[in-house]
Amino acid sequence: MRQRLTVDAYTEGILAGDRIILSRAITLIESRLKNDRQIAGKVLKNILPATGRSLRIGITGVPGVGKSTFIEVFGKHLTSLNKKITVLTIDPSSKKSGGSILADKTRMENLAHDPLAYIRPSAAGLSLGGVARNTREAMLLCEAAGYEIIVIETVGVGQSETLVRGMTDFFLLLMLAGAGDELQGIKKGIMEMADAVAINKADGKNKTAARQAVDEYRNALHLFPKSDSGFTTRVITCSALEGTGIPELWELIEDYEKLTAHNGFFKRNRQSQNLEWMHDYIRQTLEDQFYENPTMKKSVKVIEKSVSEGKELPIAAAQKLLNAFLKTKN
């Protein structure tokens, strides 16, 4: 195993924008080893003053919408404006093997070779919603390394949207044309979270259908309550294949940033997200301590058998285990 660097070496390398050390630091924060977690905590504390200056964008969409292609074209547009961009992608992990394909660098080959871009795929593991448990920390490291825009790509439509929305400033929902039937199947909550809806693949024969989809989504959004940000959710068309609509989308995002910075929502939202992060960490840490406790490991196996055979109610069994865990802490 590669030797870990010192806390100072990690800190200095990140602040200098060293991509190799940045990658090693993200690997460090993803580690479950106790010593690594201690070093990671010190590194994060050191780089904290250099964080919080980027624009954080969450991007999600239905399967087949072309998220990776869109992000690559969007990213190349941003780098053409001389902006440094990080793309943090979350790859779903197998529940059986725990493995993950981590193929996003292959899917975004042109962006991956751009000196102003940094792509980091991470395995979701078994974390809730398919969001890697250390995505927030990776985001801070990238900000400290000087990346101005952080893009987080979700696994897909589901619980991950709520989690990614809770760590980003702007949330983009990618959809396809022909939305008449699909619109009924979209969860209202996901539509409410979106700051913009982009109808992708609006090219060729799809242009007419894309324009119709814009009208359908705009009509649907009128039924939703006004956003706390004060920004009216926009619906636009774009084509990652032709590159159309991408500059307009970026202008829209800039308008959002200016408005929310002016009305104070941007800062309030970041503060709220930091508090939620703290509580998420408490929940995750307690869960880790429970399942890693040697006494509980034995007790869980015994009670699992009782529950699976129908001899004990799951809720009663859970309470028994929690009570036993609390006793180990006294």
Q: Which of 231, 263, 295 is the last residue of a domain?
A: 263
Q: 32-36, 105-109, 171-175, 278-282: lowest mean pLDDT where?
A: 105-109
Residue 46 lies in a domain: yes
Residue 107 has pLDDT above 80, yes or no: no
Task: Indicate whether 79 and 183 sit together in one domain.
Answer: yes
Conformational region of residue 158, where left means phi above 0, alpha means psi within -120 to 50, and beta covers everything else: left
pLDDT band at 34 (very low <50, low <70, confident <90, very high): confident
Distance from the first to the final alpha carbon of the chain: 37
Task: Indicate whether 86 and 227 sit together in one domain.
Answer: yes
Query: How far is it, in rounded angstroms, from Cα 198 to Cα 67?
Result: 11
Q: Which residues, 6+ apart, have CB-to-CB distance to 158 below 8 Å?
A: 129, 130
Residue 45 has pLDDT above 90, yes or no: yes
Task: Indicate whether 191 and 312 sit together in one domain.
Answer: no
The first and second tokens of residue 93, run together, are: 């992990």
With the C-alpha atoms ordered 269, 270, 271, 277, is the resulting torsion angle positive or negative?
Answer: positive
Residue 94 has pLDDT above 90, yes or no: no
CATH number of domain containing 95: 3.40.50.300
At CA 283, angle to CA 11 and CA 151, rounded to 5? 50
In the β-sheet with 196-199, what is the strand arrangement from edge to edge?
117-123, 85-91, 149-153, 55-61, 170-175, 196-199, 234-237
Task: Indicate whether 200 and 138 sit together in one domain.
Answer: yes
Residue 38 lies in a domain: yes
At 46, the amino acid letter reads: N
Residue 10 has pLDDT above 50, yes or no: yes
Higher per-residue pLDDT: 127 or 6: 6
Domain that holds residue 170: 52-263
Query: How far is it, in rounded angstroms, from Cα 248 to Cα 291?
Result: 49
| Cβ atoms 191, 221 nearer than 8 A | yes
Task: Note the pLDDT of residue 306.
Answer: 93
Task: Indicate whether 164 and 288 sit together in one domain.
Answer: no
CATH number of domain containing 45: 1.20.5.170
Q: 169-178, 204-213, 216-225, 273-282: lowest mean pLDDT where?
A: 216-225
Residue 171 has pLDDT above 80, yes or no: yes
Higher per-residue pLDDT: 111 or 129: 111
Task: Indicate whether 31 and 139 sit together in one domain.
Answer: no
| Mean pLDDT (whole number) for 57-65 | 87
Residue 229 has pLDDT above 70, yes or no: yes
Task: Indicate whether 45 and 69 sit together in one domain.
Answer: no
Task: Indicate whether 101 and 168 sit together in one domain.
Answer: yes
Residue 93 lies in a domain: yes
| Per-residue pLDDT tens digits for 115-140 | 999 999 876 554 444 455 689 999 99
Task: Indicate whether 35 and 60 sit together in one domain.
Answer: no
Query: How far is it, in rounded angstroms, from Cα 91 to Cα 197?
Result: 23
| Per-residue pLDDT tens digits for 70-88 | 999 999 999 999 999 999 9
Task: Indicate whether 45 and 57 sit together in one domain.
Answer: no
Residue 324 lies in a domain: yes
Query: How far is it, in rounded angstroms, from Cα 60 to Cα 170?
Result: 11
Task: Note the pLDDT of residue 216.
Answer: 85
Is 250 exposed, middle or buried (CB count within 10 Å of its CB: 0-12, 13-18, 19+)?
middle
Residue 270 lies in a domain: no
CATH number of domain containing 304: 1.10.287.130
Residue 180 has pLDDT above 60, yes or no: no
Task: Note the pLDDT of residue 4.
Answer: 83
Q: Which of 29, 50, 71 is the last residue of a domain?
A: 50
Q: Which of 15, 34, 50 is the last residue of a domain?
A: 50
Residue 249 has pLDDT above 90, yes or no: yes
Is pTM beyond 0.75 here? yes
Residue 258 has pLDDT above 90, yes or no: yes
Task: Indicate whether 244 and 287 sit together in one domain.
Answer: no
Residue 205 has pLDDT above 50, yes or no: yes
Task: Note the pLDDT of residue 190.
Answer: 78
Task: Indicate whether 282 and 177 sit together in one domain.
Answer: no
Q: 9-18, 110-119, 183-192: lowest mean pLDDT where?
A: 183-192
Task: Note the pLDDT of residue 183.
Answer: 52
- Number of structural domains the chain divides into: 3
Task: Note the pLDDT of residue 129.
Answer: 41
Q: 1-5, 125-129, 145-149: lowest mean pLDDT where?
A: 125-129
